[in-house]
Structures are given as C-alpha cells and as structure tokens.
Structure 1
Amino acid sequence: MTILNARNLSLEDVQRLFGFQKQYNDSFSNLLSLEPLTDTEQQELKQIQNDFDRYLTAGKVSEGQVKFLVVAPLLRLAGFYRYPIEITLEESIGEIEVEDEDIKIKGRFDILAASKAKHTTSQAYFWILLIESKNSQIDIYTGLPQLLTYAYKSLDNQKSVWGLTTNGISYQFVYIQQGNPPVYHLMPLLNFMESPRANDLLQVLKTICQL
C-alpha cells in the first residue's frame, strides 16, 4: 500500500488518480445570481484591502497572515460566521482510497465552511466552500491539486462543491461536480487589489454563503 500526502500531488497526478476533467467558465453569472454590495460592505472591503496592502508593501505575507488578514475578514463580511454555517480549520480529510490502485491519500484542508442545517446522505454536514491558502509569493495554482483532492472526498456525499485557492492577492474559484468523469470548472480569476474585482469577490462569497 502506497500512502501519499495531498500536498505533494501535482495537477497531473490528481487528474490521473481521480479522472477529473477541466473546464473553463468565463462568467460567474452562469452559476450564481450576484447581488450588489451595500455602501457599508464596500467600505469594510476597502479597509481590508488597505490593511492587507500595508503588509504586501513590507514584503512577503505568510500563509497564516493571508488567512488572518484577508480570508477571515472576507468570510465574516460575506456571512460565513453566522448559523447554520460552521467553519473548520486544519482538519484531516481521513483517507482517500484510489480504485484500481494500491494507493491511499491523506491530507489536511485549510478552511472548510459546512452547513449544520443540511446533511448529505451519509449524515455528514453539507460542504459549502473549501479554501486552500498560500503565502503571497506562491502561485495560487499550486494549491489546486490539494483543493481538488479534498473536494473529491466530498463528492462521495454530495453532487457539487465550491472551492477557492488564494494567496491573498489572487482568488481562483473552482466549481467541482460529481460525474463520470468528475468535472472542475475554473472560474474567472479575481485580483483582490483591484477594487472592481474585490467587489466581485465579495459578491461571489456572499452568494455561495446563501446557497
């Protein structure tokens, strides 16, 4: 039996092991009904930008700082801290066994938002959003293999799940669907330091939160 850590998998590994097919989606409106932000939300969003920009100007922002300075405030502003959603940090995914290969995969996801009011068929909480974060100098696509691996685990119990990989500056949303083969949709890339894209980011997070 070969045991692999999800952190060490490449995108090619993930596609081969799980059969994932990639698709590009050029608009969030194809999947989500986005609503305008309030003036208060825009002001708070600008404050998060300013706080983060100060750290970026000083140099590399660590993964932990990205979570604390940007991801956590954005999740709060989008409504993810309110019932029935529960946030889980740094939790093991258990083991994923790969069919037809003597392989088990282990790992820990960064952030998971799940609904305590909605259960899957296995009585597990319904996964709403899975987040993989990196430091500000790492390309966000390095987090994609881990994100897809953890999301694949959820597809045992639900038909789809949203994922997000970020380095604090860039935000790549991924819509992952159950199927034969399973499919992941890469959504438009959003830059948090550009105000129009930051607005888009918060709109997307708010809508996913309300799903």
Structure 2
Amino acid sequence: MVPIIQDQNIGIAYLEERFGLQLAEEETFFAEWGENLPELTDLEKQDLDRIKNNFLRLVKYPPLSEETVKLVVLSPLLDLAGFYDEPFFIRSEQSIEISTEDEGKIIRGRIDVLVVQQQLSLLIIGSKKSSWSLLAAIPQALTYMIANPEQNKPVFGLVMNGNDFIFIKLIKNSQLEYALSDQFTLWKRENELYKVLGILKKLSQILS
C-alpha cells in the first residue's frame, strides 16, 4: 500500500528535499506584489474599510471559523478583484495528490479556493482560522502549487487567516523556485487591505 502523507504534516524542508524547491533570492522574481499596483477608487476603499471593521468586530467573539473568514473577508476581496468575472472561474474544496517518485509516497490535501482560467490553475488560496499561524499554511499552499500540472507558467498563491495575508509565487523551470511577499495585517492602524486588494487586482490583470 502506498504511504499517504497529509499536507498539514509537510514542512518547507521536506519540499526542498523531495522536490528541489528553492527560495528565489532576487527581488525581481516576485515584483508583482510591490510594483505598479492599480489605484483604488474611493468606493473600493469604503468597501475595504467595512470588511476590516466587520472582521475586527467578529474576532472579538471567538472561535472564528475558517468558513466565516472566507465569507466575511475572502469572498468580498475576490469579488472586488474581479475573480468572479470572465475569464475566471472559482472552485472550492478541491482535493490534490502529489507523489514523490523516489519513495513512492503520496501527499494528499485540499485546496480551499482555486481560481481557474481556461482550465489552468492560476491562483491558489489557503484560508485558515483566525487563530492559525500562516507559518503552517505556507508549506501547504506550496504543496498545492507544486501539484499544478502547468509547466513554465507562474502560479500564485495567497495564504490568509482573516487578519494576516501573505502572497506566494512559484515557477517551474529547470528547478522549482518560490518567493513570498511581505506579510500584511489588519492589526495596523492603516487598512492594509488596500495593498492586498491592489495585489489581487494586479494578479487578475496579469492572469487574464
């Protein structure tokens, strides 16, 4: 029987050893998250202020479930970024498997939200409870991104727990390379959802 490894038991070191994953050192590798972001309208900023206030009000009454985080924060962000419009399709609760050839093991997990265009997986989103650290979500998201069958095209990821957000970029060329954005948080006085939405809108422009 082929051994099954659950994705929550996978760490960065395992992905580096088994798949040759490497962290890209060049700043230009993942310039999409910080350069030439679209300007937000006053109406979009009002919507983002409301999303932040809704979340910060709900987080006072734990536990705040993963489904609530998706409903209150993620869903309106995807809508504002244009991912509910053509040419994109949203798929949720997608199962994935990825095998390691040398040991005959299978990594099994579940993608929370998948943005698809022309049958290509473009944006992979891991949404966690507000009490979860993103340190555990990053290797899970990278596992899903490695499992993406499309070669030589960048795949983008977003891990979030409602109050914190980190973007990921992975490219499969001669080797697997990835990079992370800065971490954005709702615990700052300024609303960092402005930057999160700007990045999502930039990715929607690139991927469409």
Instruction: Compute the TM-score of the two structures, normalised by the length of structure 1.
Output: 0.88
CA distance in 2, matches of 1:2, 1:134: 26
The 3-state SS of whatever aligns with 2:113 is strand
- 1:112 is matched with which residue? 114
Superimposed CA distance per residue, residues 23-66 of structure 1 (whole angstroms, 9 cap, x where no aligned partner): 36768982353111001100111111111111112233211111
8 A Cα contact 1:128 1:209, kept in partner: no
8 A Cα contact 2:30 2:180, kept in partner: no
What is the number of equivalent residue pairs in this alignment? 202
8 A Cα contact 1:6 1:107, kept in partner: yes
8 A Cα contact 1:24 1:187, kept in partner: no
- 2:43 is matched with which residue? 40
- 1:208 is matched with which residue? 203
Superimposed CA distance per residue, residues 145-196 of structure 1 (whole angstroms, 9 cap, x where no aligned partner): 1101110011544421000111111101011111333111011111134334
8 A Cα contact 2:29 2:179, kept in partner: no
8 A Cα contact 1:66 1:168, kept in partner: yes
8 A Cα contact 1:27 1:188, kept in partner: no
8 A Cα contact 1:155 1:177, kept in partner: no
8 A Cα contact 1:5 1:106, kept in partner: yes
8 A Cα contact 2:83 2:90, kept in partner: yes
Identity of aligned residues (%): 34
CA distance in 1, matches of 2:55, 2:175: 39
The 3-state SS of whatever aligns with 1:163 is strand
Instruction: Compute the TM-score of the two structures, normalised by the length of structure 2.
Output: 0.89
Q: CA RMSD in A?
A: 2.0
CA distance in 1, matches of 2:93, 2:30: 31
Which runs of 5 or more residues in structure 1 are unaligned?
117-124
8 A Cα contact 1:27 1:187, kept in partner: no
8 A Cα contact 1:23 1:186, kept in partner: no
Superimposed CA distance per residue, residues 6-27 of structure 1 (whole angstroms, 9 cap, x where no aligned partner): 2221222222221111236768
Which runs of 5 or more residues in structure 2 are unaligned?
none
Aligned-partner residue type, residue 7 of structure 2: A
- 2:65 is matched with which residue? 62
CA distance in 1, matches of 2:19, 2:31: 26
8 A Cα contact 1:173 1:186, kept in partner: yes
8 A Cα contact 2:30 2:181, kept in partner: no
